[in-house]
């Protein structure tokens, strides 16, 4: 229903923010990792997923396409709903989740609130089975190191929050580090990344 929401954070609590979008307040559930990066007063773009049932309409928001994709994939697992899927993303990064699946790390998966050992085993088994059949899932979870390279990159995440796609942000972040060096301040790297996107003709969303 909504691909994304862009506005100002006007309230924040555990796993939840209120986003003012042109005078309309949206109640959005977000992972802990996103909530910590969205203080009141900050303008942000959230990729969204709308969960609709007979008596429920709830919006979930994510800072990256990878987080949203993993959230949706987790809900396709038997017995996993949006509450547990959000808990997974609040406990494990995409790269940590991928590593747990590939290494069959039931202990790591069981650290997620609401996920016991049996559920952890089912998550890992179903994800491993689907990886050979689903190219999108395989791309997301097949290389934990690759996911980690962007998952903890503040420049990448800043570009995502400004409306860049994951591909644009990854390419522009790498360009900025090549031009200025990895030790350059994040603010300078973001400016250089945006300049490279402007030169390439990308329109900032």
Residue intervals in the chain for CATH 2.40.50.140: 4-62
Q: Determine the pLDDT at residue 84.
A: 95
Contacts 24+ apart (CB under 8 A), 165-168: 165/65, 166/64, 166/65, 166/66, 168/197, 168/202
Q: What is the pTM of this model?
A: 0.68
Residue intervals in the chain for CATH 1.10.150.20: 65-146
Regarding the domain with residue range 4-62, which homologous superfamily does it belong to in the CATH classification?
Answer: Nucleic acid-binding proteins (2.40.50.140)
For the domain spanning 153-198, the CATH number is 1.10.8
Residue intervals in the chain for CATH 1.10.8: 153-198
For the domain spanning 65-146, the CATH number is 1.10.150.20
Give the chain's residues under pLDDT 50.
Answer: 144-148, 150-152, 203-205
Q: Determine the pLDDT at residue 88.
A: 95
């Amino acid at each position: 229903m909504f691909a994304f929401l862009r506005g100002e954070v006007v309230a924040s609590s555990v796993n939840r923010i209120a986003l003012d979008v042109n005078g309309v307040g949206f109640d959005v559930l977000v992972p802990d990792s996103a909530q910590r990066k969205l203080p009141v007063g900050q303008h942000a773009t959230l990729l969204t997923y709308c969960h609709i049932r007979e008596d429920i309409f709830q919006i979930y928001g994510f800072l990256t396409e990878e987080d949203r994709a993993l959230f949706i994939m987790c809900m396709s697992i038997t017995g996993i709903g949006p509450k547990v899927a959000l808990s997974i993303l609040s406990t494990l990064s995409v790269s940590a989740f991928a590593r747990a699946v590939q290494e069959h790390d039931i202990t790591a998966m069981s650290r997620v609130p609401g996920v016991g050992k049996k559920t952890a085993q089912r998550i890992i088994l179903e994800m491993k089975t689907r990886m050979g059949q689903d190219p999108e899932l395989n791309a997301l979870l097949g290389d934990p190191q690759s996911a980690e390279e962007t998952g903890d990159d503040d420049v990448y995440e800043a570009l995502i929050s400004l409306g860049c796609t994951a591909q644009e942000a990854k390419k522009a972040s790498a360009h900025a580090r090549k031009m200025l060096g990895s030790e350059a301040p994040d603010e300078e790297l973001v400016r250089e990344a945006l300049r490279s996107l402007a030169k390439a003709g990308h329109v900032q969303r």
